[in-house]
Structure 1
């Protein structure tokens, strides 16, 4: 994927979560940079993630200020060709 990434990607994960691994593999395959925040054993980080996402499941993924959701939603954006526009700060529906 040859895209100019202007938006920061943040992904909350746990070490052994298969969906977290799949999300990181997808981002890595697209050669995108991201901040991985591991919430394993860190109650405060996990509570923060839950508070800002409204969900207790991982992964939780943000592109810029947009909460993407989990791996399924990330893959759907990518497959629909909308991840590139989101990475450029144009919003998921641009």
Structure 2
């Protein structure tokens, strides 16, 4: 993997257990990421839904690529796809 990782953004809420699991997965890989807390901000939820077509959190982006929610992130990690995306 290259020494500079792509930007990783997680749209999340403070109380979401799947958001916590997504952050833990990324932490376990030694990755850094930014969290955008959509919380109770209706405009952020709207932006998230327009960007992803989904209205659930977490939603994970690596660079411009939408990975999806925790299940998608976990599956991408298990299959090796996440490492390939990070290596680009």
User: Taking structure 1 as the reference length, what is the TM-score of the superposition?
Assistant: 0.86
Describe the SS at the equivalent of 2:11: strand
Number of positions where the alignment pairs a residue of Structure 1 with one of Structure 2: 87
User: Taking structure 2 as the reference length, what is the TM-score of the superposition?
Assistant: 0.92
Distance in 2 (alpha carbons) for counterparts of 1:34 and 1:6? 10
Give per-residue Cα distances to partners, 1:23-47, cap 9 Å, x unaligned. Answer: 0000011110111000001111111
1:6 Cα offset (Å): 2.9
1:84 Cα offset (Å): 1.0
Tell me whether 1:68 sits opposite 2:67 in the alignment. yes
2:79 corresponds to: 80
Describe the SS at the equivalent of 1:32: coil
- Give 5+ residue unaligned stretches, structure 2: none
Distance in 1 (alpha carbons) for counterparts of 2:15 and 2:72? 20
Is the deviation greater in 4-13 or in 29-38?
A: 4-13
1:29 corresponds to: 28
2:58 corresponds to: 59
